[in-house]
């Protein structure tokens, strides 16, 4: 059983490393773009909710 466990962990990645990159070379710009779009949506929804739906809705407790 011991040998089986060892081979399972060894098999998790048994390919050759094709390219090794440094910390700052990792560049997931697609993820950044997606998060950026989410961020803009959230910011615009906040502006809409607060200024249009809340402050724009008639009489307010003063």
Residues that bind another protein (CB under 8 A): 23-24, 26, 28, 31-32, 35, 39, 42-43, 46-47, 50-51, 54-55, 57-62
Q: Nearer to another protein by C-beta: 6 or 54? A: 54
Nearer to another protein, 20 or 24 (CB): 24
Query: Cβ-count burial of 5 within 10 angstroms (0-12 exposed, 13-18 middle, 19+ buried)?
Result: exposed
| CA distance readout (Å), 10 to 5, 6, 19, 33, 46 | 9, 6, 20, 35, 49
Q: Is the Cβ of residue 2 or residue 57 nearer to another protein in the bound state?
A: 57
């Amino acid at each position: 059983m011991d040998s089986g466990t060892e081979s399972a962990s060894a098999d998790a990645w048994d390919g050759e490393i094709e390219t090794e990159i440094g910390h700052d070379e990792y560049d997931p710009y697609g993820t950044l773009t997606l998060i950026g779009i989410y961020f803009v949506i959230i910011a615009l929804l906040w502006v809409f909710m607060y200024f249009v739906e809340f402050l724009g809705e008639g009489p307010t407790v003063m």
